[in-house]
Structure 1
Amino acid sequence: MGTAAGRGTLLAAVLASGMVFLDSTVVNVALPHLGADLHATVADLQWTVNGYLLMLAAFVLLGGALGDRFGRRRVFLLGVVWFTAASVLCGLAQGTGWLIGARFLQGAGGALLTPGSLSVLQSSFHPDDRGRAIGMWSGLSGVSTALGPFLGGWLIDALSWRWIFFLNVPLAVLVLLAALRWVPESCDEDVSRTRAEGQGHRRFDVAGALLGALALGGITYALIDAPGRGIGAPAVWGAAAAGVVGGVAFVLLERRRGEAAMLPTVLFRSRLFSALNIFTVIVYAALNGFTFFLAVYLQNVLGWSALLTGIALLPMTVLLLVGSSRAGALSARIGPRLPLTVGPVVAAAGLLLLRGVSPGASYWRDVLPGVALFGLGLTLVVAPLTASVLAAVADRFAGVASGFNNAAARAGGLLAIAALPLLVGLSGSGYEQHGALTSAFRGAMLWCAGLLVVGAVLAVVLVHRPPRADRADQPADRSDGSPRSDRADRGAP
């Protein structure tokens, strides 16, 4: 950490992550503006968000495996260039088809970039400095996330929604310069034994990634297309069938490949791991559904600016930054069940408060309490969930367990944004009509609150404290056959 190479490597990882986090926090805020500019329908707005999420959820594990095999710096740099080129295409879009296609490409770049930004730190720093480097990466990336609503909202209001994508260009130039100058190359055989045990089983499973993409893509297309074509339309049923077949084929392929699979099915012998990932899908579905609808509602019904809308979401980010480490420490002391039960209930209460927001609402009186409650509930969930997922499996599965949990979170958001407009009856240009959008917003908040309550019930019934590693050679959980992991003792991802 005290060397120029260490600081340069950290700079490259932080700026690269910052590009991704910035886009993730402001694209929802930009939806009303780009929708009006490009004459988009609700389905177009859904695909603008979901095109990115689909590619990231389907290919993030493959992106990590590519880095392990062909060189982490090489794949990281490819991801930066790819993501930036796709961002420029997004900013230049002259129609919704162009924009959606560019978002798909951006998601593919993100699948290379996202795992790479952390893996270059893990493989480049001396073990004594690795924890500090990752901690600084986490903190500085959090700052970029917090700045996103201010910077993105200002760019949208002062210039255009296109500039939230163009901003990635100067950031990418700095990343490339720093990475080429300071980041060392590494691949699977160059890392320490602990690192190899953590991710050495990740394989170049292209067929698995493609089948996963087919499963998610087919179901997503069916949900998004159903309001326009009708639930009984052949295209809708065909897409849904392709998604189901792809999902079944994915499971059968991964089972047949065993530990050579992108997602070894042995992980799901742990009931705790399975339950935590179902919980992840539910909670992140509620999170993404909430942010998708709130950003559009505040601008198109309440008439707020993009900057004020971004600021309205800021308390959630601040609470996560300030409180996540404390929530993680609490979970390490008392176990994850209580935080994972109370957190969703508190977040659901925040969404029920926000249902009452109407034109003329005050930010301080009507919006802030609900957003703050939701953020507080989410803060109780995120760190305990991450630590528990990793503690539920053997250390040698840490890399793929973390990657799959990340993909599960993306898939939850993907499915929520696809399904919620169908469930609340919003389609076509309804997002521009006050009455239709108000009804849809209130229905969406109710659905998201219900999802969170389901998550809380799941935590009560199925989540328990991950087993402690009193003896490394003992199984983690005799009831489900999963291996014991010493990560439960450490209480940290």
Structure 2
Amino acid sequence: MAGRGHGVNPPGNPWPALWALVIGFFMILVDATIVSVATPAIMADLGADVASVVWVTSAYLLAYAVPLLVTGRLGDRFGPKQVYAVGLVVFTLASLWCGLTANVEQLILARIVQGLGASMMNPQTMAVITRTFPPDQRGRAMSLWGAVAGVATLVGPILGGLLVDGLGWEWIFFVNVPVGVVGLVLALRLVPDLPTHVHRFDLLGVLLSGVGLFLLVFGIQEGQTFDWGPIVGPISVWSLIVAGIVVLAGFVFWQVRNRGEPLLSLALFRDRNFSLANAAITTVGFTVTSMSFPLMLYAQGVRGLTPTQAALLLAPMAVISGVLAPFVGRLTDRHHPRYIAGIGMACFPVGLLWLAAALAPGAPIWQLLLPLVLIGTASAFVWAPIASTATRNLPMAHAGAGAGVYNTTRQVGAVLGSAAIAAMMETRLAALLPSMSGDAEAVTHLPPAQHAAFATAMAQSLLLPAGVLLAGLAMVLCFARPVHMRKQPTGAAAVEGLA
């Protein structure tokens, strides 16, 4: 079946397949944030120190992000259904292993395997949307995909707090097992066997992309842990980051020079919307990951909320984003994506600035919830238009590769956001509370006399993601009108060229 089906969507209703896939997609995104609330319980039960337990999350994110370029390509070669199913089996078994571990070293190893399973699953969800939905219906499909992505990143801490408080930290992993089994059965029954495309794997490209992404992501992700200094001997955080950039530059050079079949077809980036959407989603990934840290520290350190209570502050964002997603999806199919995404990318920084202004020691909770509702509304207008714009014009043979690139840039944005917000918070705390130590004990037992300065430091930290989003807004305002919209008459003639 090699090469069959280029540009042709399979018959039948594609929605059941998408619903089956988003079950696993939701699971893997929740697991990127769910561990944060369980960190103290894991430390106490496994006798782990802070440096070790941080790797429970870091190992998962690294194993998840680094292989995405390759796993997206695997879906093109062997079929997205098959690669997704294998990834879901790996992820589910690794989740069971995580819950049964007896020490933190085993838990970290299990999380690496879990991350590899997640990296196999993630690109296939977007690839199936691209290959089964016609271009004029992908907005609604991407709205569901985007709503799941947006809500999952917010639900993780909430669900983690409830499970840890009620059943124990092991259940943040055990809960994946029945969900994974159900998701696998539904995927095998409902996801169609799509045509595969013969690809010769670019082994040098795989090596260069893997090493380059690992060095870059590891350096950024762990920079704060090592205080942006030496790691082992002459090897420093910055040397890893620079080495990663150099290796990735070598990867791009090889992709240009490779006369066979490169791992990543740089021709994808000739599509203006694909390039702009990848840049825009990097800023969104940066913001969604970074914005919750100052809010959670303020809620627990200044307001005295428990981790679960603090996480529940994010509930309005998740609810409003999920409710608006179908509406935004229909708009995305009918209207120019620069306007739909532009609304979200403009409202998002406004919401962050409003939230920053509300972070005061005695502010009523409702004053915090109002800007969070606006942020949730903005989130609903961001995910679907950007994702659908990135994938609408992709050739069917490269749907998986394109999805791999898109998810890689989003994940790199998330890693950048995590590292940057940590540095920003540390800088503002050093300026406003120079005598304060930066450990968890100091935050959770903050003296009332320090509440105002601490709240100000967290509020000022939110200015960073707000500023980054302005760059993303500039990107989405440059979107070209999608091809399927150009074919529709506008006034007396069809629209030609770029809008």
Match of 1:170 among 169, 178, 183: 178
Three-state SS of the structure 1 residue aligned to 2:269 is helix
Q: Distance in 1 between matches of 2:383 and 2:284?
A: 10
Q: Distance in 1 between matches of 2:248 and 2:396?
A: 27
Pairs within 5 Å for 1:176-215 = 176=184, 182=189, 186=193, 188-189=195-196, 200=197, 204-215=201-212
**Residues 160 and 172 of structure 2 are in contact (CA less than 8 Å); yes or no, is this contact kept in structure 1?**
yes
Change (3 A) 1:431 1:421: farther
Structure 1 residue 337: Cα displacement: 2.6
Match of 1:80 among 80, 88, 93: 88
Structure 1 residue 338: Cα displacement: 3.2
Pairs within 5 Å for 1:339-378 = 339-355=340-356, 356-359=358-361, 361-365=363-367, 367-378=368-379
Structure 1 spans left out of the alignment, 5+ residues: 1-5, 190-199, 480-487, 489-493
Partner of 1:196: none
- Structure 1 residue 218 and structure 2 residue 219: aligned? no
Change (3 A) 1:344 1:93: farther
Query: Which amino acid letter does the alignment assign opposite residue 401 of structure 1?
Result: G
Which deviates the most, 344-353 or 224-233? 224-233
Identity, in percent, stands at: 32
Pairs within 5 Å for 1:237-276 = 237-257=238-258, 260-276=261-277
Instruction: With the length of structure 2 as denominator, give the TM-score of the two structures.
Output: 0.75
Partner of 2:481: 465
- Structure 1 residue 235 and structure 2 residue 235: aligned? yes
Structure 1 residue 410: Cα displacement: 1.3
Partner of 1:105: 113
Q: Deviations over 1:113-144 (max 9, x none)?
A: 23446767998x999xx999969985996899
**Residues 26 and 310 of structure 1 are in contact (CA less than 8 Å); yes or no, is this contact kept in structure 2?**
no
Query: Which amino acid letter does the alignment assign opposite residue 267 of structure 1?
Result: L
Q: Deviations over 1:132-191 (max 9, x none)?
A: 9969985996899487666443212112232111111222333455566x46884644xx
Which deviates the most, 462-471 or 98-107? 462-471
Q: Distance in 2 between matches of 1:209 and 1:309?
A: 41
Partner of 2:461: 444
Instruction: With the length of structure 1 as denominator, give the TM-score of the two structures.
Output: 0.76
Q: Distance in 2 between matches of 1:347 and 1:11?
A: 28
Change (3 A) 1:295 1:126: closer
Structure 1 residue 459: Cα displacement: 3.6
Q: Distance in 1 between matches of 2:316 and 2:382?
A: 16
Q: Distance in 2 between matches of 1:267 and 1:283?
A: 21
Q: Deviations over 1:330-384 (max 9, x none)?
A: 445542333333422321122223334255554323x211211211222222121
Partner of 1:430: 439
Q: Deviations over 1:308-334 (max 9, x none)?
A: 333321222222222233334444554
Structure 2 spans left out of the alignment, 5+ residues: 1-13, 430-436, 489-494
Three-state SS of the structure 2 residue aligned to 1:262 is coil
Three-state SS of the structure 2 residue aligned to 1:371 is helix
Change (3 A) 1:374 1:147: closer
Three-state SS of the structure 2 residue aligned to 1:260 is coil
Structure with the higher fraction of residues in helix conformation: 1
Partner of 1:485: none
Which deviates the most, 374-383 or 301-310? 301-310
**Residues 215 and 244 of structure 2 are in contact (CA less than 8 Å); yes or no, is this contact kept in structure 1?**
yes
Pairs within 5 Å for 1:13-52 = 13-24=21-32, 26-31=34-39, 33-34=41-42, 47-52=55-60
Q: How many residue pairs end up in the alignment?
A: 456
Change (3 A) 1:174 1:156: same
Structure 1 residue 41: Cα displacement: 7.2
Three-state SS of the structure 2 residue aligned to 1:302 is coil
Q: Distance in 2 between matches of 1:23 and 1:59?
A: 17
Partner of 1:320: 321
Query: Which amino acid letter does the alignment assign opposite residue 208 of structure 2?
Result: L
Partner of 1:193: none
Q: Distance in 2 between matches of 1:137 and 1:103?
A: 27
Structure 1 residue 97: Cα displacement: 4.8
Task: Output the aligned Cα RMSD.
Answer: 4.3
